[in-house]
Chain A
C-alpha cells in the first residue's frame, strides 16, 4: 500500500491564481480530511468527507472547495489564492474516525506571493 499520497510537494502561486492539491489513499478509507498547518500552530481542519459524495466544512473552509467523487481521491481546490493561504497542507484518512488511526499524507508546502 502507498498509504496517503499528496501532490505536489511544493508549489508557488501568485495572488489570484487557482490550483488543485491532490490527495489519494489506497486503504479503502471512508473518512478523509484536509488540514492546514501554519508556523508554530497546530493543524486546522479545512474540509472533510465521510464517504464518496459527502463533504462538509471544517474550522477554516473559506477560499477552498472540495469534492469526493470516489473513495480514493479527495482534491482540495484553491479558488483565488491569497498570501494568507501560504501554509503546509496535510491530507489525512481513516477507516472510521475515532475507531481507527488517522493517517496523514506527506504534506504540500504552498507559498502564495
Chain B
C-alpha cells in the first residue's frame, strides 16, 4: 500500500520567517495531494491541495509544489504569523480507488 513520510516532525520559526514541510509518497498511482491544518482539539481543515497534473499551486502566503518523478511534495508558508501555529498534515490520495494515506504531521510553532 501507500506510504507517506513527512518531515520535520516539529518546526519552530520566528514570526515573519518562512516554513517548509516536506512529504514523500511511494505509490505512483496517487493523484491528489491535500494539506490540512489541525489546531488542538479541532478537526483537520484543508488549506491547499494539488493534483498530479500540476507542479505548483499558490494561495496568498501558502504554496505547494509537487515533483511526481521524485514522488515528493512540499508545503511552503511565507511571512508566518503566530496564528499559523498548528499541526500540519500532508496526504496522498488515490482517488479512483477512494484510498487516502496521511503523514504523521508536523507541529509548527511560530514565535512572536
Point out residues on A near B: beta carbons under 8 Å: 31, 33, 35, 40-45, 48, 50, 56, 58-59, 90, 97-99, 101-102, 104-107
Contact = CB atoms under 8 A, between A and B. Distances in A.
B31 A43 contact: no
Contact of A98 (B6, B32, B42, B89): B32
Given A102-B34, A102-B46, A104-B45, A97 B98 contact: yes
Contacts, number: 57
Given A56-B98, A59-B1, 14 more contacts: A33-B98, A40-B104, A40-B105, A42-B89, A42-B102, A42-B105, A44-B102, A90-B44, A97-B32, A98-B93, A102-B46, A104-B43, A105-B43, A106-B43
A33 B6 CA distance: 22
A48 B1 contact: no
B99 interface: yes
A107 B45 CA distance: 13
A98 B46 CA distance: 12
Nearest to B31: A98
Given A41-B105, A42-B89, A98-B31, A48 B43 contact: no
Interface residues of B, number: 25
Contacts of B98: 31, 33, 48, 50, 56, 97
A101 B104 contact: no
B104 A41 contact: yes
Q: Ordered nearest first, which 4 A-B pairs have the shortest CB separation?
A: A42-B102, A98-B95, A98-B32, A104-B43
Contacts of B32: 97-98
A97 B51 CA distance: 11
Nearest to A107: B43
A48 B43 CA distance: 18
Residue among A50, A59, A90 facing the most chain B CB atoms (10 A cut-off):
A59
A44 B93 CA distance: 12
A45 B99 contact: yes
